[in-house]
Each structure stands twice: as C-alpha cells, then as structure tokens.
C-alpha cells in the first residue's frame, strides 16, 4: 500500500514538474515575442549607433531591439562613403546587429524599420519594399531628396495603410515640443529660429542640415505657411515665411562663426528666447512609442509643408531673386512628377 502511495505521489510530482516546465517555456516565449524587432536601412550615419545604443539598452526597458541592418550607402557623398564601413562594423560587433544583403531580407526579420540613409535621394526607393512588406517606418532627415519623393512616400504609405513619419530630433527638444499656446508665451504670433546650415551639392540647400532649424520653426508655428522668400549669402541663409493671418516666422541658417540651435518667441503673453537641444533621447522615445502604437506623432501634412517651405526657399533664391514663392504652387508643381512615379 505504501509503495502504491509513493508511486502515486511521484506521478503527481512529475505532472506538476512537466506543467511548470511548459508554463516557464510559454512565459519565456511570450516575453520573447513582446520584443519589437527593429531593422535599420542605411548604416552610413552616426545616428545608427547612437539610436541602437539607446534602444538596445536594457536599462531603458523599451521592449524594442535593433536586430538587423542593411548597409546601403552613397558613393558620391563623402559623408556616406567614408563612414559606411565603420558604422556597419560597429553595429555588428558592438550591438550584435545582423547585417543583411537586401531590404527584402531585412523586412523578413523585423517588425518595424528605421530608414537612416544620410542621403535623402534613395529614400523613396528604399521605402518602397518596406511599405510593400507592411512594416511601419520612421524616416530620418531629410525625408527625401525632393518634394515629389516626399509626396510619393506618403501616398504609398497611405494607400497601403502603413504608418510612416519623419522628423528631426530638434522637434522634441525639452520645452520646444509643447510651445504652441504654452502657459509662458501664450499664443505664438511669430518666431525667429536659427541653426547650423551646411550645404550638400546633391540636395536642395536647406534639406541637408537646415531641415533641423526649419523643423523647429514649424514645431513652434504649426502649419499654415502661405509664402516664402529667401536671402542667401556665402555664410548665411535668411528665409521669411508668412503664415495665414499675417503671422511671420523666420529661419536663419548659420555657416560662419559660432553656430547653435535656438529661437526667439513672440507670444501674446511674453517675448523671449528658447534654447534647443540636439539630444537623441526624446526622439527615440517617440520612435519607440510609434512602433508600439502605430500612431505617427507628426502629421504627414506638416512634414509635407516643411519640405515645401524649403523647396520654395530654393525657388526664391534660384529663380525669383528673393521674391515670394507660394507654398501651394510648389506643392502643385511637385504633384505631376509624383503622378508619373505612381
């Protein structure tokens, strides 16, 4: 009888042991499934290592991990060609990122994509297979190499119901993101923004680096810019935008002397300066939130207007001698090229 009871108890213990093994395995598998796998396209910028360091840091507990990368690269841009190998190696060796041979292969291994290529020109071609694979995508600055490509990327994303957005890190600087109708300044009546503005021959002038300052300008002013005019010298850009209702916002691009990021705000309650930080932490927070929710923090319409503003500034400089250029006319001109692509 005792022997029978012993066998029974042993059998019960074995069942419980198997049950707990299955439970632990299931919980482990579930925990593993919760990690959102991120792939990076374009490993030719310091952003890929800076972002990976933040996202893959266990202390951040983001629930995301950069797991795969496609190198890309642009041989005609030194900032790309000279840095591609080093950043690719660093991602592989320091962060354990798998380097793949195509964007299609990358899409099979990830849940979302960060398009990081420093050159905006290939972004449309690189975004196409990502959107076709139905992967949510964040596109680093500049979103594209021209306005028509910006329009086409957003068209494809909307048509395929794929979450997509783009932004400079400056938008999310502490104190800047919530500046519209703030307690301190009240309603923003106007602002003067400044930032570094180096040029790159393959991109419209402000797309390359001025985009940071223009993103700040629209973060403060919002959409509704109607006309743009521009003054250009060797060391300085000065662009004036007139918003609906007569509000004026200006952008000063700096290429000489001390360069920095900042703005002066003109509000209904106060007038004063505001500093901006180029730190990546707040942007990465927004990217992670985007991947988890599928909701873009910056509307497509605002990003389109940002690139239309910069394209209009180029037209004012090159073909109008600094005269005003309509934002609406610039967008309308880009649409036929966009339709041909479609």
Q: Is the pLDDT of residue 120 over 50?
A: yes
- Picking from 69, 54, 77, 57, the residue whose alpha carbon sits closest to that of residue 142 is 77
Q: Is the pLDDT of residue 17 over 80?
A: no
The pLDDT, as a whole number, for residue 78 is 95
Report DSSP state, residue 267.
E
User: Class of the 31-169 domain?
Assistant: alpha beta
Residue 30's pLDDT band (boundaries 50, 70, 90)?
Answer: very low
* Structure tokens belonging to residue 50: 């800076």
The pLDDT, as a whole number, for residue 2 is 47
**Quick one: average pLDDT of 317-331?**
91
Q: What is the dihedral of CA 81, 87, 89, 91, to 10 degrees?
A: -150
The pLDDT, as a whole number, for residue 180 is 87
Beta bridge partners, 165, equal 138
Threshold 0.75, pTM exceeds: yes
The pLDDT, as a whole number, for residue 178 is 86
**Quick one: average pLDDT of 303-324?**
93
145-149, 176-180, 200-204, range with the lowest pLDDT: 176-180
* Structure tokens belonging to residue 333: 């001109």
Domain segments of the chain as ranges? 31-169, 171-341
Report the C-alpha gap between 167 and 278 in whole angstroms.
Answer: 12
Q: Is the pLDDT of residue 250 over 60?
A: yes
152, 124 in Cβ contact below 8 A?
yes
- The sign of the CA dihedral 166, 171, 172, 177 is negative
Q: Is the pLDDT of residue 9 over 70?
A: no
Token pair 């925990």 is found at 31
57, 66 in Cβ contact below 8 A?
no
- What DSSP element (H or E) covers 94? helix 84-95
Spatial neighbors of 251 by CB under 8 A, at least 6 apart, are 193, 194, 195, 206, 210, 213, 214, 217, 237, 238, 239, 241
- What DSSP element (H or E) covers 153? helix 147-159
- Picking from 84, 76, 310, the residue whose alpha carbon sits closest to that of residue 202 is 76
193, 252 in Cβ contact below 8 A?
yes
Quickly name the fold that domain 171-341 has.
Dihydrodipicolinate Reductase; domain 2 (3.30.360)
| Percent of the chain's residues with pLDDT above 70 | 88
Q: Which residue has the higher pLDDT, 340 or 65?
A: 65
Arithmetic mean of pLDDT over the chain: 91
| Percent of the chain's residues with pLDDT above 90 | 83
Beta bridge partners, 263, equal 193, 274
Report the C-alpha gap between 240 and 246 in whole angstroms.
Answer: 12
pLDDT digits (tens, 9 = 90+) for 213-243: 999 999 999 999 999 999 999 999 999 999 9
Q: Is the pLDDT of residue 22 over 80?
A: no
Spatial neighbors of 65 by CB under 8 A, at least 6 apart, are 35, 36, 37, 38, 55, 56
**Quick one: average pLDDT of 104-119?**
98
pLDDT digits (tens, 9 = 90+) for 82-108: 999 999 999 999 999 999 999 999 999
Q: Is the pLDDT of residue 262 over 80?
A: yes
């Amino acid at each position: 009888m005792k022997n029978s009871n012993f066998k029974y108890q042993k059998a019960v213990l074995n069942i419980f042991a198997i049950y707990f093994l299955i439970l632990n395995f299931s919980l482990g598998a579930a925990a593993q499934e919760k990690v959102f796998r991120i792939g990076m396209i374009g490993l030719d910028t310091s952003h890929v290592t800076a972002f990976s360091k933040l996202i893959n840091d266990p202390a951040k507990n983001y629930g995301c991990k950069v797991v795969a990368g496609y190198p890309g690269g642009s041989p005609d841009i030194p900032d790309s060609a000279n840095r591609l190998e080093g950043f690719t190696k660093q991602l592989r060796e320091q962060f354990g990122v798998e380097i793949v041979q195509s964007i299609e292969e990358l899409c099979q291994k990830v849940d979302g994509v960060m398009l990081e290529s420093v050159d905006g020109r290939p972004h449309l071609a690189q975004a196409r297979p990502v959107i076709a694979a139905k992967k949510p995508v964040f596109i680093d600055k500049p979103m594209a190499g021209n306005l028509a490509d910006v329009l086409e990327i957003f068209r494809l994303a909307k048509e395929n119901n794929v979450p997509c957005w783009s932004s400079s890190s400056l938008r999310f600087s502490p104190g800047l993101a919530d500046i519209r109708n703030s307690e301190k300044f009240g309603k923003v009546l106007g602002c003067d923004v400044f930032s570094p503005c180096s040029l790159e021959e393959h991109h419209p002038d402000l797309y390359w680096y001025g985009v940071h300052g223009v993103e700040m300008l629209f973060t403060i002013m919002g959409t509704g810019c109607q006309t743009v005019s521009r003054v250009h010298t060797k060391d300085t850009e000065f662009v004036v935008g007139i918003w609906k209702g007569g509000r004026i916002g200006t952008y000063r691009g700096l290429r000489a002397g001390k360069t920095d990021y900042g703005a002066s705000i003109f509000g209904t309650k106060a007038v004063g300066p505001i500093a901006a930080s180029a730190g990546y932490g707040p942007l990465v927070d927004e990217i992670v939130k985007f991947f988890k929710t599928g909701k873009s923090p910056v509307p497509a319409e605002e990003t389109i207007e940002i690139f239309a503003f910069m394209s209009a500034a180029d037209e004012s400089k090159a073909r109008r001698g600094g005269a005003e250029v309509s934002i609406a006319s610039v967008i309308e001109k880009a649409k036929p090229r966009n339709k041909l692509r479609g």
